[in-house]
Amino acid sequence: MSAAPDHAAGRERRPGRGLVLPAVAALVAFLILIGLGTWQLERLAWKEELLARVEARVHAPPVPVPPPELWPKLTREADEYRRVQVRGTFDHGRETLVYTVRGEDAAGPVKGQGYLVVTPLLRPDGPPILVNRGFVPSDRRDPTTRAAGQVTGEVEVVGLLRLPEEASWFVPANDPARGGFFRMDPAGIAAARGLSGAAPFIIDEVANAVPGGLPLSGGTRLAFPNRHLEYALTWYGIAAALVGVTAAFLWTRRRNGGAG
């Protein structure tokens, strides 16, 4: 009488059966890493285009400031850092101090904590425009300590058009009630100073000879972080390492017959 077939033996684990799930998981992770690296390369192309655009704008001949009917259409892509010019009279009695720190990499001897002096420019032919006249150290925040720089009469301002600074976790919120300003917010500054219909942008005045030397103009930072290539190579490197580790793992498991 023949022996009954051993069905248990027929159900013996097939080699490689336990490798499918790890392989699929590794493939998904690999695709995600490649996607992140490719996204960083796209960001790199965008950042390089931005830098080239800004470089061209800041060295172009100045053009008149956009008229009020165009203000709602201004965008960062098309108008930020445009070199403009405008004439008017400074209203020093309504200047606003915006706290900042002038780093060691800044040009000139004046560094450290201080303020950007934002002064309304009153125009006979249009609404007022806020002008960032430049930096003053903390011990010169009082206008009487820099009276020579409070120029009077009609002036021509040449500078870079700047749209409102975006809010950041690292910068305190402005507190107009207490006179505390930490970022450039033209609408908020204009409201605090009673300037009706003021422009929704600020002009960063280019470097010029101010009587007495303060405010120190021309301090617009044009350095944009650009580490996208580094980030892309990091993601691609992790993806390559994942391939190596996964290949070694699968080969070892398969050589051992799929055993854990």
pLDDT digits (tens, 9 = 90+) for 195-243: 989 999 999 998 888 888 889 888 777 666 667 788 888 888 888 888 8
Q: Is the pLDDT of residue 166 over 60?
A: yes
User: What pLDDT score was predicted for residue 226?
Assistant: 67
- What does DSSP assign to residue 216? B
DSSP H or E stretch at residue 118 = strand 112-123
Rounded to whole angstroms, how far apart are CA atoms 58 and 35?
35
| pLDDT, mean of residues 151-174 | 85
Q: Give the residue ranges of DSSP H helices in 108-227.
A: 186-192
Give strand pairing partners of 161. 203
User: What pLDDT score was predicted for residue 257?
Assistant: 63
Most confident of 94-108, 193-207, 240-254: 193-207
Across the chain, mean pLDDT equals 83
pLDDT digits (tens, 9 = 90+) for 24-46: 888 888 888 888 888 888 877 77
DSSP H or E stretch at residue 157 = strand 154-162
Backbone angles phi, psi at 156, to 5 degrees: -105, 125
Q: Is the pLDDT of residue 74 over 50?
A: yes
| pLDDT, mean of residues 178-203 | 90
User: What pLDDT score was predicted for residue 225?
Assistant: 66
